[in-house]
Amino acid sequence: EIVLTQSPGTLSLSPGERATFSCRASQTVSSSYFAWYQQKPGQAPRLLIYGASNRATGIPDRFSGSGSGSAFTLTIGTLKPEDSGLYYCQQYTSSRGEFSFGQGTKLEIK
Amino acid sequence: QVQLVESGGGLVKPGGSLRLSCAASGFSFSDFYLTWIRQAPGKGLEWVSEIIRSGSMKYYADSVKGRFTISTDNAKKSLYLQMNSLRADDTAVYYCARVRPWDYAMDVWGQGTTVTVSS
């Protein structure tokens, strides 16, 4: 099983600042099958980034993803108050038909 | 409108069974894979099970293997999760999600249904 470890646990930033989320895998994963999700309280997760660096439909261009191998990053370029929530990374291992999620990073907007 | 709607959650005693349903609409059911994800209270997302190629292949997390069974009814455009031998640590909100077969991204999610396992 591939374990995804996200850091930091919590980010506390002000509007207009830049947010950087890290996700490290316990072994090399396929960038094609790597995604980021946002979840707000009481809501289902929402797909933000797929294929490590592609924005999902309707996602503002202040969200960007990068990385390969075992290290991936989600960046929010200019924070807005509505960006607060939990952010999860996710990967898929095709040889085992398994998904795994990171434990999440909480983003607080001051 | 592309939509997934879960139902079937509730309160069940340890050792009991429950069947969750997920009704799909607004898209071609056979063009996508489907998955169940759960979230225990105050915890992160945990993948539970996946069904692909109209049911020809099914995968399970180790935590539910042998107790849960995923299935679909293509005519009803519905996904199911039969949960047996339920334990307290199965308590969670259960989401169904649509999986794109070309990149395995979960691009559509249901609103979730709550399962509570308690005596």
Measure in Å the smallest separation between the Cα of A31 and chain B Cα atoms. Answer: 9
Residues lower than pLDDT 70 in chain A: none
| CA pair distance A41, B42, nearest whole angstrom | 10
pLDDT in tens, B85-114: 999 999 999 999 999 999 999 999 999 999
Residues in chain B within 8 Å Cβ distance of A39: 45
Residues in chain A within 8 Å Cβ distance of B92: none
Mean pLDDT, chain B, as a whole number?
96
Dihedrals φ, ψ of B70, to 5°? -100, 145
Map residue A66 onto helix, strand or coil: strand
Compute the count of residue pairs across chains A and B with CB atoms less than 8 Å apart: 63
Residues in chain B within 8 Å Cβ distance of A89: none
Interface residues from chain A to B (CB-CB < 8 Å): 1, 32-33, 35, 37, 39, 44-47, 50-51, 56-57, 86, 88, 90, 92, 94, 96-104
**CA distances from residue B74 to A27, A30, B48, B104 in whole angstroms, order as listed:** 36, 30, 21, 20
Q: How confident is the model at residue B40 (pLDDT cuts 50, 70, 90)?
A: very high
What pLDDT, on a 0 to 100 scale, did the predictor assign at position A67?
Answer: 98
Determine contact, residues A54/A66, Cβ cutoff 8 Å: no
What pLDDT, on a 0 to 100 scale, did the predictor assign at position B45?
Answer: 98
pLDDT in tens, B53-63: 677 899 999 99
- The length of chain B is 119
Nearest by CB to residue B111, choosing from A32, A44, A88, is A44
Percent of chain A exceeding pLDDT 90 equals: 97
What pLDDT, on a 0 to 100 scale, did the predictor assign at position B56?
Answer: 84
Pairwise CB contact (< 8 Å): B52 & A45 = no
Mean pLDDT, chain A, as a whole number?
97
Q: How confident is the model at residue B29 (pLDDT cuts 50, 70, 90)?
A: confident
What pLDDT, on a 0 to 100 scale, did the predictor assign at position A47?
Answer: 98
Q: How confident is the model at residue B30 (pLDDT cuts 50, 70, 90)?
A: confident
Determine contact, residues B8/B115, Cβ cutoff 8 Å: no
Determine contact, residues B118/B63, Cβ cutoff 8 Å: no
Residues in chain A within 8 Å Cβ distance of B110: 44
What pLDDT, on a 0 to 100 scale, did the predictor assign at position A62?
Answer: 97
Q: How confident is the model at residue B20 (pLDDT cuts 50, 70, 90)?
A: very high
